[in-house]
C-alpha cells in the first residue's frame, strides 16, 4: 500500500510537471496568427494536443507505451461518435479494418460512393477519430462512404499504409454493386497523409483497366511531395500550431524509416542529385507558387550542395507512392476532376498549390477552396460546436457542395 502511494504521488508530480512545462511553452512560444478567430479556444486545443504528445513521449522513454499508441488512445477516448442518421457497419477486407456508412433513406438507383483515407501522418488518426467526418459526408451527399483503417506507426512503416489503402480500394471497387454504388460515380478522398494516399491511388487505378475509374478526387490539405521543404509555406509557417515543419519531418522520417540524423540534409535539399533537380525543378520549385503567397526577403539557396550519402539513405522520397506530384504529364492528364482544399496557416499549403498547377496545366478540371483562416486538420472540428472554427465548417460545406454537384 505504501509503495502504491509513492508510485501514485510520483506519477502525479510527473504529470503536473509536464503539464506546467507544456503550458509555459504554449504561453511564451506559440503564435496564433491574427486572422484565426477565438484565439483562447485555439490555444486551449493546441495545449492539450501538445500535452498529449509530451505525455506520450514520456511514456515511450519509460518503455511503458509508444507515443503514437498513447495519443490514439486518448484521441479515440475523447471522440463522441455521431452517426448523423446513417447506417454504420464495421467490417474487414481481409485483415484491413474498414467502416461502411450508408444512408438510411431509400434510393431510386445506385448511389455515389466515397472512399476516404484519414489523416494523422501515419502516427495519429483512426476510424473513430474521423467517424463523424465520414457519417456526415454520407448523409449530406447521399453517398455510400468507405473509411479505411490502415495500419500505422509504431508497428508499421511505409509501404504498409499505402498497401492497406490500395488493397481495400481495389476490393471495394470490385464489389460496388453489392454496396449499391454507381461505378461511374466513385470519389477517392482523404485528408493530409490520407489525401496524399488518395492522390497516389487515383494514379494507380488509371493503370487498372479491370477496375471502374474514379469520377473525382477530393484532396484536403494533401501531402504530395517529400522533397522541397523550403517552399514558402514551409518557411512562413515552420512553427505553425498542430503541424510545424520539424514535427512534419520527424513524422515523415519515422513513417519512411529514415534515420532522424538525415533531417537536416532533407531540409536543405542536399540529398537531391543535380540531375534529379534539373528534371523535377519545373514541378517542385517555389517559382510555381503565386506571388501573393510569398514573403519578401532573401530566400535560402535550394537545393544545397549534393551529399551522396544523404541521397542513398533518403531516396525513397522520389518514388511515386511517396511523391505523386512527380508523376509524368501523361498520367496527370488522365486524372479525374479534382477538388482541392488548402489552409493558409499550414506548412502543406504549397503542396496543394503545386499539385493544382500541375493538374491545371494538363487540362484537369480543378475546384479549389482556400481557407484564409485555416490551419492543418481543422476539418475534423466541423461538428465540435464550441470547439469548432469557421474554417472547419467551410472546409466541410465546400467538400459536401462539390461532391453533391458531380
Please list the active-site residues: 192, 346, 376
Three-class DSSP category at 369? strand
CB 367 within 8 Å of CB 338: yes
Sign of CA dihedral 63, 68, 72, 74: positive
Smallest Cα–Cα separation from 151: which of 143, 138, 163? 163
Which residue bears the cell 460545406?
Answer: 397
CB 270 within 8 Å of CB 307: yes
CB 232 within 8 Å of CB 295: yes
Element (H, E) at 290: none
The three grid cell numbers given for residue 339, joined into one nine-digit string: 477538388
The three grid cell numbers given for residue 288, joined into one nine-digit string: 510555381
In terms of Cβ atoms closer than 10 Å to its own Cβ (0-12, 13-18, 19+), residue 216 is buried
Smallest Cα–Cα separation from 323: which of 228, 257, 225? 225
Q: What are phi and psi of 113, to 5 degrees?
A: -120, 140
Smallest Cα–Cα separation from 185: which of 403, 363, 35, 17? 403
CB 229 within 8 Å of CB 247: no
Map 170-238 to HEC letters: HHHHHCHHHHCEEEEEEEEEEECHHHHHHHHHHHHHCCCCCCCCCCEEEEECCCCCCCCCCCHHHHHCC
For the chain, what percentages of helix, strand and coil (3-state, to nearest 5) are there? 50, 15, 35
Which residue bears the cell 498547377?
Answer: 357
Alpha-carbon distance of 226 to 128, in angstroms, equals: 28
CB atoms within 10 A of CB 3: 7
Smallest Cα–Cα separation from 203: which of 223, 217, 186? 217
Amino acid at each position: 500500500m505504501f509503495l502504491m502511494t509513492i508510485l501514485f504521488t510520483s506519477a502525479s508530480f510527473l504529470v503536473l510537471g509536464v503539464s506546467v512545462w507544456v503550458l509555459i511553452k504554449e504561453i511564451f512560444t506559440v503564435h496564433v496568427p491574427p486572422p484565426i478567430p477565438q484565439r483562447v479556444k485555439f490555444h486551449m486545443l493546441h495545449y492539450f494536443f501538445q500535452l498529449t504528445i509530451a505525455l506520450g513521449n514520456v511514456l515511450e522513454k519509460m518503455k511503458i507505451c509508444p507515443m503514437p499508441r498513447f495519443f490514439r488512445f486518448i484521441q479515440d477516448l475523447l471522440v463522441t461518435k455521431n452517426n448523423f442518421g446513417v447506417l454504420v457497419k464495421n467490417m474487414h477486407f481481409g485483415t484491413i479494418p474498414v467502416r461502411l456508412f450508408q444512408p438510411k433513406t431509400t434510393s431510386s438507383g445506385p448511389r455515389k460512393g466515397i472512399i476516404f483515407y484519414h489523416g494523422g501522418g501515419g502516427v495519429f488518426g483512426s476510424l473513430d477519430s474521423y467517424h463523424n467526418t465520414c457519417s456526415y459526408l454520407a448523409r449530406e451527399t447521399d453517398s455510400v462512404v468507405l473509411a479505411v483503417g490502415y495500419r500505422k506507426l509504431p508497428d508499421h512503416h511505409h509501404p504498409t499504409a499505402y498497401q492497406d489503402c490500395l488493397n481495400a480500394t481495389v476490393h471495394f471497387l470490385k464489389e460496388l454493386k453489392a454496396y449499391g454504388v454507381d461505378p461511374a460515380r466513385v470519389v477517392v478522398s482523404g485528408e493530409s497523409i490520407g489525401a496524399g494516399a488518395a492522390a497516389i491511388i487515383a494514379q494507380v487505378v488509371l493503370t487498372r483497366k479491370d477496375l471502374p475509374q474514379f469520377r473525382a478526387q477530393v484532396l484536403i490539405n494533401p501531402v504530395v511531395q517529400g522533397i522541397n521543404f523550403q517552399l514558402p509555406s514551409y518557411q512562413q509557417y515552420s512553427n505553425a500550431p498542430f503541424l510545424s515543419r520539424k514535427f512534419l519531418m520527424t513524422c515523415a522520417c519515422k513513417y519512411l524509416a529514415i534515420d532522424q540524423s538525415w533531417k537536416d540534409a532533407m531540409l536543405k535539399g542536399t540529398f537531391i542529385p543535380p540531375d534529379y533537380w534539373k528534371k523535377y525543378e519545373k514541378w517542385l520549385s517555389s517559382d510555381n507558387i503565386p506571388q501573393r503567397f510569398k514573403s519578401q526577403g532573401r530566400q535560402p539557396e535550394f537545393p544545397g550542395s549534393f551529399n551522396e550519402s544523404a541521397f542513398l539513405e533518403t531516396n525513397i522520397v522520389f518514388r511515386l507512392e511517396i511523391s505523386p506530384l512527380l508523376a509524368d504529364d501523361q498520367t496527370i492528364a488522365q486524372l479525374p476532376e479534382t477538388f482541392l482544399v488548402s489552409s493558409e496557416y499550414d506548412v502543406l499549403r504549397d503542396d496543394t498549390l503545386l499539385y493544382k498547377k500541375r493538374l491545371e496545366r494538363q487540362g484537369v478540371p480543378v475546384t479549389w477552396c482556400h481557407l484564409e483562416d485555416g490551419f492543418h486538420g481543422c476539418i475534423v472540428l466541423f461538428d465540435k460546436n464550441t470547439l469548432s472554427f469557421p474554417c472547419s465548417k467551410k472546409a466541410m460545406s465546400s467538400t459536401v457542395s462539390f461532391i453533391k454537384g458531380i
